[in-house]
Structure 1
Amino acid sequence: MAAQNENPAKHVGADDIYTQIRRRIVEGHVTPGLTLGEAQLASEYGVSRTPVRNALARLEQDGLFERVRFGYAVPVRSPEQVVELFEARIILDLAAAELAAQRRSELDLARLRHLLEQAEAATGADLIHINDAFHDALRDAAHNPTVAQLASRVDAQLAAYEARPAGTPDDRQTTQDEHRRVFDAVHDRDPARARSELQAHVERARDLRIAALAREDRKT
C-alpha cells in the first residue's frame, strides 16, 4: 500500500527526517499497516536513501515501525496490545505526578495554570491539543527527562489508535475538573494526592478507550 502524500518539504536536512516522519505517524497521516518505502521517502525529502534508512531504523527502535516485505509499516496492534500501552503510560504518568508535586517550580505552576485557563475557552481539536499539553507540562514539572521521554515514546505508539473526539460537554467538564484537582495537589506539594487524582483521571480515560475498542471490535 502506498504512503499518503503529505507533501513534505524538499531537501530537508538529514537530521530532520526522523522528526518529520515521526510527526506524520503521530498526527495520523501514516495509519497502521500503511507501508513506507526508502526510495519514495528519499525522493519526497530530496535526500539519498542513507539518511532515510537511518531514520526508519530509529523509528523501528521506537516501536513506531516494523520491517515488512516492501519497506516499513506502522504496526497493527490488537486491542489487548493497545491496552498494554495505556497501562504503561499510566505507570509513567503517575510517577511524573508524584515527582512534579515534589519538584515543581513556580514556572512549572505558571505553565500548568495557563493551560487550564486556555482549556476553559477551547473546543474541538484545540481542546484535545491543550489537554495533551497539560500532561506534557506535568511530565516536565517532574524534572525527570527519562520519565518524560519514555512517556512520549508510548504516546507516539498510541497515537495511531487515538483518533479521539473532543467528547461531550459533560466529559469535557469532567476532564477540566480532574486536571484542576491534579494541579491543586502539585501546587500544594502533596505527592500522594497528586498521584491519586491523576490515577482517577487516567484510569477513566483508559476505560473510555477500552469501551471504544470493544465497540470497534464488534464491528469487525
Structure 2
Amino acid sequence: MTVFADVQPVRSLAGQAYARLREAIDAGELRPGMRLREEDLATRLEMSRTPLREAVRRLEAEGFFTRDSRTLVVMTLDHQAVSELYAMREVLEGTVAAFAARHASEGDVALMRDLHAIEAGLLTRPQELARHNERFHSALNGAAHNRYLLKALNALRDARALLGSSTLLDADRAGQAHAEHDAIVSAIEARDPIRAEAAARDHIRAAGRERLRRLMQAS
C-alpha cells in the first residue's frame, strides 16, 4: 500500500506536466525545432525531474518531441508530413461541410454566420483572428453532428500543433480565408452538400499551399 501511495502522486504530477507541455506546444510557446533541456522544463513547471521525464516520454511516443543526442527537440514536420496532413484535412473537413449542409440546425447555421461576421472585424488583428478561426472551425465541426468525424479531426488537431504559427498571420491569406469561410457557410445555408464540400476542400487546399510556401521559404 505504501508503494501504491508513493506512485500515485508521481503519476498525477506527470499528468499535470504532460497537460502543461501540450498547452505550451498548442500556444506556440514551445515551437517546432526548439531545443530544450529537461532541467529547464522542470524549472519552468516547478516540479521535480521524475514526473517531468514521464511526461516527456509520453510526448516522445506521441511524436511531439524527439531527441538529438541528449537534447530534447520539439518535432518539426517536413514537407511530406505537411502534405499528408493537409490531404487528410481536405478529406475530413470536406466531409464535415457536406454533413453540416445535411444535418446542421438553424441554430448551428446562425452561430457560423455570427462567427463569420465577427471574423470580419478581426482581419487586421492577426493573433485574435487565429484564435477566432479555431472557434469558427469548431462550430463547423459541431454542425456536422457526427462524433466519429470529430474524433478523427481531434487526432489531426494534435498534429497541427506542430505546424507553427497560423497562416492567418499573413494579411492576404486572412482575407482569402474570410471569403472561403463565407462560401462554406453560404453552401450550408443553402443545404447544398456538394457545394459545401467543394468549398471546404478549396479552403483547406489554399491553406495547405500557403503552409508549404512558408516551409519552402524557411528551408
- Common fold: TM-score over 0.5: yes
Describe the shift of the 1:216–1:19 C-alpha distance in structure 2 as closer, same or farther (beyond 3 A). same
* Contact 1:35 1:70 (C-alpha < 8 Å) held by counterparts: no
Describe the shift of the 1:72–1:100 C-alpha distance in structure 2 as closer, same or farther (beyond 3 A). farther
Q: Aligned AA for 1:86?
A: Y
Counterparts of 1:214 and 1:116 in 2: how far apart (Å)? 31
RMSD: 2.8
Counterparts of 1:101 and 1:50 in 2: how far apart (Å)? 50
Question: Is 1:121 the counterpart of 2:121 in the alignment?
Answer: yes
Q: Which has the larger radius of gyration?
A: 2
Q: Which runs of 5+ in 1 are unaligned?
A: 1-11
* Contact 2:111 2:139 (C-alpha < 8 Å) held by counterparts: yes
Counterparts of 2:103 and 2:58 in 1: how far apart (Å)? 32
Counterparts of 1:181 and 1:135 in 2: how far apart (Å)? 14
* Contact 1:64 1:74 (C-alpha < 8 Å) held by counterparts: yes
- Structure having the larger proportion of residues in helix: 2
Residue aligned with 2:163, SS:
coil
Moved more, 87-96 or 30-39: 30-39
Residue aligned with 1:29, SS:
coil
TM value normalised by structure 2: 0.77
Q: Which runs of 5+ in 2 are unaligned?
A: 1-11
Name the structure 1 match of 2:187: 185
Q: Percent identity?
A: 30
Question: Is 1:166 the counterpart of 2:169 in the alignment?
Answer: yes
Give the CA deviation at 1:203: 0.9
* 1:58-94 superposed Cα distances (whole Å, 9 cap, x missing partner): 4334332235543643223322222222222222212
Residue aligned with 1:73, SS:
strand
TM value normalised by structure 1: 0.77
Count of aligned positions:
205
Name the structure 2 match of 1:8: none
Describe the shift of the 1:179–1:45 C-alpha distance in structure 2 as closer, same or farther (beyond 3 A). same
Name the structure 2 match of 1:76: 76
Counterparts of 1:57 and 1:142 in 2: how far apart (Å)? 35
* 1:158-204 superposed Cα distances (whole Å, 9 cap, x missing partner): 334342353335x4333222111211222233221110111111111
* 1:15-70 superposed Cα distances (whole Å, 9 cap, x missing partner): 44322211211222212333445554444434455543443344334332235543
Counterparts of 2:107 and 2:55 in 1: how far apart (Å)? 34
Question: Is 1:154 the counterpart of 2:156 in the alignment?
Answer: yes
* Contact 1:97 1:198 (C-alpha < 8 Å) held by counterparts: yes
Name the structure 2 match of 1:107: 107
Describe the shift of the 1:68–1:216 C-alpha distance in structure 2 as closer, same or farther (beyond 3 A). closer
Residue aligned with 1:66, SS:
strand
